[in-house]
Chains A and B, each alone.
Chain A
Amino acid sequence: GAGVSQTPSNKVTEKGKYVELRCDPISGHTALYWYRQSLGQGPEFLIYFQGTGAADDSGLPNDRFFAVRPEGSVSTLKIQRTERGDSAVYLCASSLNYQGATQYFGPGTRLTVL
């Protein structure tokens, strides 16, 4: 079946602009995760959804970052007033809902803030 998909693949924006990154999880996966991966580092957790609600948003760096999952499937990560430090690869993953379930990742969105 289809894996996790993310759009766009690459996004270039100017400092101060607003961006939206989209994630389409594997069908039937109720858990959805966003991670941020800076160059040369491992991914860092941002937010975790269980169904439509954010079960854990402790990784969001500040209030410029926000994510939604209104129907419990597709999720959108929104970044306001982008800064050069937001440049990274944003990875989305989904899984079944049990402890230790394997997370399956999408190809990521590379965000570049000029």
Chain B
Amino acid sequence: AQTVTQSQPEMSVQEAETVTLSCTYDTSESDYYLFWYKQPPSRQMILVIRQEAYKQQNATENRFSVNFQKAAKSFSLKISDSQLGDAAMYFCAYNNAGNMLTFGGGTRLMVKP
């Protein structure tokens, strides 16, 4: 069974600074997909970024980028120029042919003004 681990229960960043959230996963598959979701207090999961495992190029979405290391099974999220609205729970998730998402335990990000 696949597992996803987020080793940082909480992280804090100063507004306008950069922060990196860690995620590692365990799988024997070669073809899969990785996601970062943001969950604000409103509860709704919002997609931040998506990465296909067969692509070597790291995905980027405006201020959000990933560092995907397939051999190390690592998928970290970098948030640049942090904003107050970035404060939320962040979940890393894995998806393969089974379609269901396997989530990590989450990292709470606090942004200090």
1/0 contact string of B84-108 vs chain A (CB within 8 Å): 0000000101011111111111100
1/0 contact string of A20-46 vs chain B (CB within 8 Å): 000000000001010100001111110
Contact of A99 among B43, B44, B97 (CB under 8 A): B97
B50 interfacial by beta-carbon distance below 8 Å:
yes
Distance A59 CA – B103 CA, assembled complex (angstroms): 13
Asked if B42 and A31 make an inter-chain contact with CB atoms under 8 angstroms apart, the answer reads no
Asked if A48 and B103 make an inter-chain contact with CB atoms under 8 angstroms apart, the answer reads no
Q: Which residue of B lies closest to A55 (CB)?
A: B99
Residue with the highest number of chain A CB atoms closer than 10 Å, among B32, B33, B45, B47: B45
Asked if A102 and B35 make an inter-chain contact with CB atoms under 8 angstroms apart, the answer reads yes
The interface size of chain A toward B, counting residues with CB under 8 Å, comes to 26
A80 interfacial by beta-carbon distance below 8 Å:
no
Distance A89 CA – B44 CA, assembled complex (angstroms): 11
A71 → chain B, closest Cβ, in Å? 21
Distance A23 CA – B52 CA, assembled complex (angstroms): 28
Residues of B near A107 (CB, < 8 A) are 42-44
Q: How large is the interface on B (under 10, 10 to 19, 20 to 34, 35 or more residues)?
A: 20 to 34
Distance A106 CA – B39 CA, assembled complex (angstroms): 11
Asked if A103 and B44 make an inter-chain contact with CB atoms under 8 angstroms apart, the answer reads no
Residues of B near A42 (CB, < 8 A) are 4, 91, 93, 103-106
Q: Which residues of B (5-49) have their CB < 8 Å from a CB of A?
A: 31-33, 35, 37, 42-47
A24 → chain B, closest Cβ, in Å? 14
Asked if A89 and B43 make an inter-chain contact with CB atoms under 8 angstroms apart, the answer reads yes
A49 → chain B, closest Cβ, in Å? 10
A67 interfacial by beta-carbon distance below 8 Å:
no
> Contacts A107-B42, A108-B44 known; A100 to B105 CB distance under 8 Å?
no
Residues of A at under 8 Å CB distance from B?
31, 33, 35, 40-45, 48, 55-56, 59, 89, 91, 93, 99-100, 102-108, 110
